[in-house]
Structure formats: structure tokens, C-alpha cells
Amino acid sequence: MTDAVMGTKGVHVQSGPCLGAELTDEEKEIINNVIARAEKMEAMEQERIGRLVNRLDNMKKTVCGDGVSRCLLCGEQLGGAGDRAVVCEDCKKNMCTKCGVQTNTRPRSVWLCKICSEQREVWKRSGAWFFKGLPKQFLPSPMPISKPKERSPHQTPAAPPVTMQTQAPVTAPEPAVNPPIAPKPPVAPKPAHLQTQSFSEDGDPASPQNTPVMMKKTVNVHAARPVSSSTAAGLESDRGVYPPLSSGSADREELKSVSPRVAQHQNAPSVDDDDEANSYDSDEATTLGSLEFTLLYDQGNSSLHCNIIKAKGLKPMDSNGLADPYVKLHLLPGASKSTKLRTKTLRNTRNPTWNETLVYHGLTDEDMQRKTLRLSVCDEDKFGHNEFIGETRVALKKLKINQKKNFNICLERVVQTKRSSTAGGARGITLYEDETGKDGSELEERGRILISLMYSTQLGRLIVGVVRCVHLAAMDANGYSDPFVKICLKPDMGKKAKNKTQIKKKTLNPEFNEEFSYEIKHAELAKKTLDISVWDYDIGKCNDYIGGCQLGITAKGERLKHWYECLKNKDKKIERWHTLLNENHVSSD
């Protein structure tokens, strides 16, 4: 059998005990499939580069000025009564500040016209900035699948090696070929990974004693890419067989002598991108950018403080090579508008700095153990749909109580999660995981409410404060509600015991900060029950019930504890969060 030893640029075949073996039809079929797949992937890559270049060409066609006395892009008069003129760092043309992009990547800020800014993006996203100019190389042509003729037993393996016939030239980022220094122990061939191979004149693999001259090959699985006419003639002489060592050093010297500016204009549309060889989503993954933020869980106030600091290197989403980014937050599972927070939008930047703090209220220790915060960076579009740039997710159980934690995370296209979001039923109601009891209905959570209780001995009154609600169920078709809160002290208190807050329009996280008082003796409070209900206001029809809870000696858990602490601690305001359930004890009048 013939044993193959894989090299960095080809497959060197070492003769073993038997000299008559060739690649089988099955192995040739595998290689042909790889070549076919390479051609398909190359077409995809060529389309991607083509779209970038086409967008740049379209921008060049819209030039209206001369770049001297008039703005290069819009044609407006510069100087005097006109707009202030700035000079593009790359093309040295004059332009107005509206048609320029100011960059701060250097010690001093520089201006670029939108065309040069876009050209830099093409240069960067195609990988041309890295390679600048590449030697032409060959991809193996498909092998005919047929049985080889028998070797004569007296043939020797010392025949001079030749190169395989090829069809399509391609570029590849590796310039050097290193021959084997010494014969290695034979290993079993792996046809699925074979890319090139040296053959002797009679078609058999050459032995290592011959030091075979290796043909050029591509490291990635790309097929031929057409080159521009300006570079085709110069590259024609590079085709063919390369010596094992001298080719690499010569190519490197040639690359050093190429001007980056010349290389950009000549090879940007047809350059091979080594990063793209790894995976076709590398263009997404490497240019989505990063997000810096801090998280702090305030246990005393049951709140999560999310300080969105800045983003860096965001993917350009607009035709000017910039973006209009903002960050939106959701709590998972059960993502809905009730858990959505967002920052302001910053215009025309890929490196936005928000320094904006968003706060989630009403989060318990239990929530911190089972919920995840999703941070999504989006591009705002005034005339269309907002575009998603990237996201990251943080499991809240990773946070320590009352300790701020800093994050600087690269954005991802979609973060895979093991557990899917648990959505509610009709009208956007959110069901929280692990809270559905045996009957299910009693523990359907409709949001939470922050209530304060205090018995004033000086006034002889119970003072009830309705502070705020969070994560309310959406009851209207627009995905929001128009909530208000009704409170009633039962039993036998009449209409004077019924109060309600103002209506807050189109929100699922209303803030009320209203107080109501009931004249009652302290000794009678133990016999009373405070009924709290949240409603969605509808014009011309019955109001929709969102959820409610009752505080009193007949209650359980936190509701009973809150009522008991109020009775025990006179003249002390005690605030507690309570879950709103779908239990209606009050009419909708």
C-alpha cells in the first residue's frame, strides 16, 4: 500500500512495501465534491464582494462638485456664505461637513468624504487591507474516475515528478511551500482532506526521494475569481509551477514593495480574504462590534441597574458607512413590551457613547436566579424598519448582590439559548416559568405592584401608597395598556373606602406615586382586608381587568407579612412588591 504524508502545501506520497496503489474512485469522488463545493462557495464570496464594490461605484456616480470651490459630493458652494470646507484625508478634495465623516481613530481627528470612507470599508471587509497583492495559484481539476492501468513490476519510483493539469487559477494567501526535511513514518491517507498531490510521469504518486516540485494550491476552498484587466497581465507570469523555497521568499519581497494605495485600487474587487475561508459568517461575527456596560442588583430596592456605557466598532448599516445605534433590553423568559427598555439613538456613529442607566424595578431574588438579560444593539431607520446589528445575553444569577459588575462583550448575530422563551396566551400576557401550579390559573402572573403601608397614630389613619407597577400584561391591540389602580378597604367601609389613581396612557410600567388614607382605629385594622386591583382603561366600554392582590390577615406569604409589619410598626412606612394575579375581587365600575 502507498502511505501519504500531508505537507503544509501539498500531499507528499511516500512509497511503502507495495508500489502499485493509486487513489480509488471513491477517493477521487470525494476530491471532486470538494472542488465543486469550492466553486459554489467562491460564487457566494464573489457576490458578496461584488455588492460592496457596486455600492461604492454607485456612490462615485453621484458626485456633483469639483472638490475645489464646490463640495465634491453635493456640489454646494464652499467658503464665504456657503458651508465650511474640510479636506478629505485620502483624496485631498474639498467637501462640506454634511458630506464628510469625522474619525477619531488617530491622535488627531481627520475628515473623510463618504466615498473614501466607503472605500476603506470595502478595503477592510474584503480582506484586501491584509493581502494587498497575491500570487496566482491553481485549484486541482476534477479527476477522471476510472480504473488506472496496471503498473509494470520493473518500473522504478524515481521518475521525475510533474504537476497535475489544472483548469482555473485562484488566489490564496500562503506564498511559501516547505518540502519534507526527512521521511516520516507512514500514516494512513485521509482522502477527505487531500487538496493537491505530486505525480510521476506514469501517473503514480512520486516517492519522497524525488523531492517533488509542488504545484500551488489554495488554503481555503475557493475556486477561480476573475481579476481586473489592469492586473491580469502582471499576474500572468506568476502562473505555473513554483519552486519549493524560492517562491515564498520572492513573493514576500514582492508584497513588501507594493504600495498599499496602489494595491487597494488594483486588487480590492478581486482579492481573496483569508478570514472568509474559515466561515461565511465571519464577515458578520468580526464586524458586529462590542458593547460595554455594567449591571448592579440593588436587593434593598428590588431593582436592576443597567448602565449602558458605549459600543465600539459596530457594523456599518447605512450607505454612508455609519449607523444610528441604540440599545434595547429585555428580560427572558417572557420577553414582551412590558420588560423592554431602550436607550436614546445616537446618529451617524459606529462608536457610540451613551452613559445611560436603565432600571428594572420589582425584581426579586428568585427572578435573579432564573432570568436572563438580553441586550440588543439596533440601527434606527426613520423611513423603514429598524435593523438588528447584534446582541448579547447575561444570566442574572451571575451577579452578586449589591456589587456592580463590568462587561465588555463582543456582539453576536443570535445567541443560542437552551431554554426557549415562555410566552403567554392571548393579549400578550406573560407566563413566568416555574410558577404554574396544579390548577394553573391562580398563578398566572399579570405584573407586579409596589405598595407602601403606614398607620399614622397622630392622624389615626391608614395611609396607602401606590408607587408603581412593572411588567403589566398588555390589554390593547397596540401591545400596551392604559393602566390605573383601584384600592378598597373591606368590609363595610362604603364608597369612602374606594379610591383610584390617575390613568397612565400607553405604558406597561406606570409610575403613580399617589397616596390614599383611611380613617380607622388601629385595633380594627386586623379585621380589614385591603383589596388592590389594576385595570386597563377603555373608552366607551367596560375596563379590562389586568390583575390584583389582597393584603390582610387572610392572605399568605409576602402579602400577609406586609400587613402584619404595618400593624406591628406604627408610624413607619413599609414598601413591598406584590405579584398581580388573575383574581378579580372588585367590579369594573
- As a whole number, mean pLDDT of residues 148-153 equals 46
Whether 570 has a pLDDT exceeding 60, the answer reads yes
Q: To the nearest whole number, what is the mean pLDDT of the chain?
A: 70
Does the structure show a pLDDT above 50 at 249? no
Please indicate, yes or no, whether residues 462 and 404 belong to a single structural domain of this protein: no
- Give a yes or no: residue 459 inside a domain: yes
380 and 494 both lie in a single domain: no
Domain boundary pick from 128, 148, 174? 128
pLDDT of residue 145: 63
Alpha carbon distance 283, 275 (integer Å):
8
Residue 415: per-residue pLDDT: 58
The region of weakest confidence among 82-91, 415-424, 518-527 is: 415-424
**Residue 549, amino acid:** C
Report which of residues 483 and 198 the model is more confident about: 483
Per-residue pLDDT, averaged over 143-169, amounts to: 47
Strand 11-14 to strand 498-500: parallel, antiparallel, or no bridges (unpaired)? unpaired
Q: Do the domain assignments include residue 137?
A: no
Whole-number Å distance between alpha carbons of 269 and 125: 11
Number of domains in the chain: 3
CA distance 551 to 433: 25
Answer positive or negative: Cα dihedral of 250, 253, 258, 264: positive
Q: Which domain holds residue 359?
A: 290-410
Q: Are residues 321 and 389 in the same domain?
A: yes
Any domain includes 281:
no
> Using omega within 30 degrees of 0 as the cis cutoff, is the peptide bond preceding 173 cis?
no
Region 157-169: what's the mean pLDDT? 42
395 and 346 part of one domain: yes
Per-residue pLDDT reduced to its tens digit, 348-407: 999 999 999 999 988 888 889 888 999 999 999 877 788 889 999 999 998 999 999 999
Helix axes 114-125, 25-61, angle to 10 degrees: 170
Domain annotation covers residue 415: no
What CATH number corresponds to the domain at position 393?
A: 2.60.40.150
Question: What's the rounded mean pLDDT across residues 473-500?
Answer: 83
- Residue 490, pLDDT above cutoff 70: yes
Look up residue 353 and give its three cell numbers. 457613547
Report how far residue 49's alpha carbon sits from residue 171's, in angstroms, rounded to the nearest whole number. Answer: 15
What does the pLDDT look like over 100-139, one tens digit per residue? 887 776 667 788 888 888 888 777 777 665 655 433 444 5
- Domain termination site, one of 103, 128, 153: 128
CATH number of the domain enclosing 104 = 3.30.40.10
Q: Verify that 399 and 450 share a domain, yes or no.
A: no
Do 401 and 463 belong together in one domain?
Answer: no
Q: Is residue 147 part of a domain?
A: no
pTM score of the predicted model: 0.42
Residue 346 lies in a domain: yes
Q: What is the pLDDT of residue 85?
A: 82
Q: How far is CA 56 from the centre of its chain?
A: 25
Q: Does residue 436 have a pLDDT over 60?
A: no
Q: Are residues 452 and 377 in the same domain?
A: no
560 shares its domain with 501:
yes
Question: Which of the two residues, 152 and 327, has the higher pLDDT score?
Answer: 327
> Percent of the chain beyond pLDDT 70?
60
Question: Considering the domain boundaries, does residue 163 fall inside one?
Answer: no
455 and 397 assigned to the same domain: no
More confident residue, 494 or 43: 43
Q: Pick the last residue of a domain from 84, 108, 128.
A: 128
67 and 117 together in one domain: yes
Q: Mean pLDDT across the stretch 428-445?
A: 40
Same structural domain for residues 488 and 552? yes
